[in-house]
Amino acid sequence: MDLISFRCPSCNQGLKAPADKAGRKVRCTKCGTELTIPMSQAPASPPPPNPAPPTAAPFTAPAPKEQADPASYAFLLDPAEEAAKAKTEQPAEKKRAPKIKRRFRMLQEPEQWAKTRLGLGVVLLSVYFWAGAFGLQGLVLILGITQGPEYGGVAEKILVSEDPPEPEPGQPERVSLPGFLVGLISGYSLYAVAKVLLILASALTLAQGGIAFAGYSACQGIPDRYGTQGQVRALMILTITNMALNFIFKLLPLTGILNYALVPWFTPELCILDANTERAMPIHVFWSVSGFWEMLLTILVMSTYYAQPLLLSVLIWSIGLSLREPPVEEAGFGLIEITFGVAFTLLAYYLLSVTGTSPVLLILLRVGFGLWNLFTAILIVRFIMGIGKTRETIFLYVQAAEEEGVVKRLGLDDGEEEDEEEHENEQDEEGDEDEPPRRPSRRSRRFKEDDEDD
């Protein structure tokens, strides 16, 4: 193997390297200086200009043949290893997080959006009332489960004997059907407590409707994009309708003013009781004036009741589309899906309840009723989160408009400062090149053409 001999310019150490490594960088074995292998062999020492004439010299023994010193070979540097070593030897600098500047689209009519945010806050308060009414109704069922099945005693003490009026000649004795239905769920010993709880739940439902109506009224000035103003008006009509239905079919029967109960809607828990097992006719159908028509009316009332949260979900989705905010869009669309799931679960429960009274069917009804309550609780929580996220997003836009007037984004308008921040962001993002870019949501891309037209 051909070798190239050369010397270190710093310490004059003689070095050798393979000829095919010419031009590569090496490190001196003595002083550690980094140098480049020459292209041709360098002379070990410069020849004398004028050699002296030969003179007689004393006899000396011949020196042994020079052998290669392992220390005279240079260390060949690996570029990858040297780069890694240099990176580890340098003191680690603290990496600054990139400055993220949130940019907002043009916000027209910020005053109307501020009123919309206020209205949504009132609607959020009504959702808490809804949660309270739902909890009280569930508490009545839990109390009834602790008491065990009762039927004969409740019929004897409540159906006929609860404040009976003086019967008129030739007329049958007046029975208290709403009280009897409540007693079947709670048991006779807790009947008074259950009745008070259900009255409070009905009153909270009415209060929820009134608060929600006030919130929708405040949202009437919302900019009309994607049909938002029509949705608000429809929500106001649905709220008044649901309040009237709750007052007629819930509160009046509970207080004894109206001695009629739309049995499937008044006490939906009746189908899962042990008293409904192995009967010739389902118990709620037996106590209905007309089983078919009352079940059909119950489904219509249920549709009206769930149309309100469904349309509220559509309103949140439309606000997200108006503001081009994918998180709000996702929240609204998720609420739409959950609302449909809750309504479908209750509809399936009602339809199954009229098919028979076998023990197997009773188990299915209990599973369906439990799923309905679970999905309703999830829906309420998701509404609280979705309305809160929508209000927070509107607040950011309104705050930007208050600080800078009608603005296009929340940030600096000075060109020099903006260029300086962009330069700093470019330096900070050099180490984050591997981070994948954030993609817009599927529904944002779906409405891309509408945004371009706007």
Q: How do the domains of the chain map onto residue ranges? A: 1-42, 110-164+174-404
Which residue type occupies 14? G
- The pLDDT tens digits of the residues spanning 147-167 come to 766 776 777 777 765 555 565
Confidence at residue 406, expressed as pLDDT on a 0 to 100 scale: 47
Quote the pLDDT of residue 74.
53
| Nearest residue to 325 (alpha-carbon basis) of 221, 8, 333, 162 | 333
Q: Closest Cα partner for 318 from 331, 329, 334?
A: 329
Residue 414: what pLDDT? 44
Return the structure tokens found at 347: 């509809």
Instruction: Give pLDDT tens digits for 250-285.
Output: 999 998 888 888 988 888 888 888 888 888 888 888
Residue 432 is predicted with a pLDDT of 46
How far apart CA 420 and CA 102 sit, in angstroms, is 16
Give the residues across from 322 on adjacent strands.
Answer: none
Q: How many angstroms separate the CA atoms of 141 and 220, rounded? A: 39
pLDDT at res. 333? 93
User: How deeply is 74 buried, as exposed, middle or buried, from its count of CB atoms within 10 A (0-12, 13-18, 19+)?
Assistant: buried
- Residues contacting residue 192 through CB under 8 Å, at least 6 positions apart: none
**pTM of this structure:** 0.65
What's the pLDDT score for residue 284? 85
Residue whose token pair is 């449909």: 340
The low-confidence residues of the chain, meaning pLDDT below 70, are: 1, 40-107, 148-149, 152, 160-175, 404-454
- Helix intervals (H) in 39-176: 79-89, 110-147, 152-154
391, 121 in Cβ contact below 8 A? yes
Which long-range CB contacts under 8 A does 22-31 form with residues at least 24 apart? 24/76, 24/77, 25/77, 26/74, 26/75, 26/76, 26/77, 27/74, 27/75, 27/77, 28/74, 29/71, 29/72, 29/73, 29/74, 29/75, 30/71
CA 53 to chain centre: 99
Q: What are phi and psi of 76, to 5 degrees?
A: -80, 130
